A = this chain, B = another copy of it.
Amino acid sequence: MDAKTQAKYEARARVVKAMAHPTRLFIVDELSRRDERCVCELTEMIGADISTVSKHLSLLKAAGIVEDSKRGNMVFYRLAVPCVAQFFNCIESVLRGNAGQSRRALT
């Protein structure tokens, strides 16, 4: 694999990695449903330390998956790229496959 190809997959991996965490998937899912949420709302739903949630959000932002905007002293996050929501359908297919069900029907 030459350097260019390598770089291509590394770039992609950075995006996938950014979502490879239960809390971050939850955030993406939530934002795909509600358009916008402030850190405090997400923190309450998630039930972790606010600093932890904030770090997850920074990570998603660095990957280009979410965008933020500050209004007053609150920061609102939203999806930057709507299609990430589609990921879930496919992930569920994989999970159904794991459970040994209708793998064929998912094409």
Contact = CB atoms under 8 A, between A and B. Distances in A.
Nearest to A90: B83
Given A90-B81, A90-B86, A97 B64 contact: yes
A46 to B, nearest CB: 6
A91 B82 CA distance: 11
A81 B93 contact: yes
State the copy count for this chain.
2
Contact of A88 (B12, B29, B65): B12
A73 interface: no
Interface residues of A, number: 46
Interface in A58-82: 63-65, 80-82
A56 to B, nearest CB: 12
A95 B11 contact: yes
A94 B9 contact: no
A84 interface: yes
Contacts of A92: 12
